[in-house]
Amino acid sequence: MVGAVERDEVRERFRRSGYTLTSQRRAVLEALRDSEGHPSAEEVYLAAKSRNPKVALGTVYQALSVLEEIGLIEAKRWSESPVRYDVNTEPHHDIRCTRCDAVEEIPGVDLGDFAAHIRENTPYDVTSASLVIEGVCPACQTQDG
Ligand SMILES: [Zn+2]
């Protein structure tokens, strides 16, 4: 559920960005917040559609890109997987299972300020940095046995 403070935060982000907080964008954000884990655009679409039948897939893609741009969600890109979306915009790392496509947060791993570390080692003007972490989850490891 989205609390009152969070609603104000969402409104404020939209106000500052110049984008309009439409009912469809709100439906997409709420669908994401209520979903387990790290859904793909298709999964967000199905969840948003159940709240607001007028939501179209193209609208969901567009809403996701606006929400990402104004910093309310993060897009995660792994190999061989559609882009997944995360409402946790605090610094953290996620791992994806290469067999079943499950995605989980990795607790307790602090790589420090990764972007700052990269900046120290390149003359580039670094605007973003991300890590792709993949492996085989415990359930899939069990199936190997
Ligand atoms: Zn797995």
What CATH number did the domain enclosing 21 receive? 1.10.10.10
Distance 142 CA to ligand 1 centre (A): 10
Of the candidates 31, 73, 25, 34, the one whose C-alpha atom is nearest the C-alpha of residue 50 is: 31
Of the candidates 48, 142, 144, 39, the one whose C-alpha atom is nearest the C-alpha of residue 82 is: 39
Residues 103 and 44 reside in one and the same domain: no
Q: Examine residue 84 and state whether it is found in any structural domain, yes or no.
A: no
Q: What is the pLDDT of residue 3?
A: 58
Confidence tier at 1 by pLDDT (50, 70, 90): very low
Token pair recorded at residue 68? 């990402």
Residues 36 and 70 reside in one and the same domain: yes
Residues 72 and 97 reside in one and the same domain: no
Q: Examine residue 123 and state whether it is found in any structural domain, yes or no.
A: yes
Distance 112 CA to ligand 1 centre (A): 28
Q: Residue 53 in contact with residue 47, Cβ under 8 Å?
A: no
Distance 29 CA to ligand 1 centre (A): 27
Residues 63 and 96 reside in one and the same domain: no
Query: 111: domain CATH number?
Result: 3.30.1490.190
Distance 109 CA to ligand 1 centre (A): 20
Q: What is the pLDDT of residue 5?
A: 62
Give the number of domains in the chain: 2
- Tens-digit pLDDT profile for residues 40-80: 999 999 999 988 888 899 999 999 999 999 999 999 888 88
Residues 19 and 71 reside in one and the same domain: yes
Max CA-CA distance within the chain?
Answer: 54
Token pair recorded at residue 22? 């439409």
Distance 100 CA to ligand 1 centre (A): 4
Query: Considering the entire predicted model, what is its pTM?
Result: 0.79
Domain that holds residue 65: 4-76
Q: What is the mean pLDDT of residues 87-109?
A: 88
Residues 20 and 71 reside in one and the same domain: yes
Distance 5 CA to ligand 1 centre (A): 36
Q: Percent of the chain, pLDDT > 90?
A: 52
Residues 72 and 98 reside in one and the same domain: no
Q: Examine residue 69 and state whether it is found in any structural domain, yes or no.
A: yes
Distance 101 CA to ligand 1 centre (A): 6
Per the prediction, the chain carries an average pLDDT of 87
- Tens-digit pLDDT profile for residues 11-40: 999 999 999 999 889 999 999 988 877 999
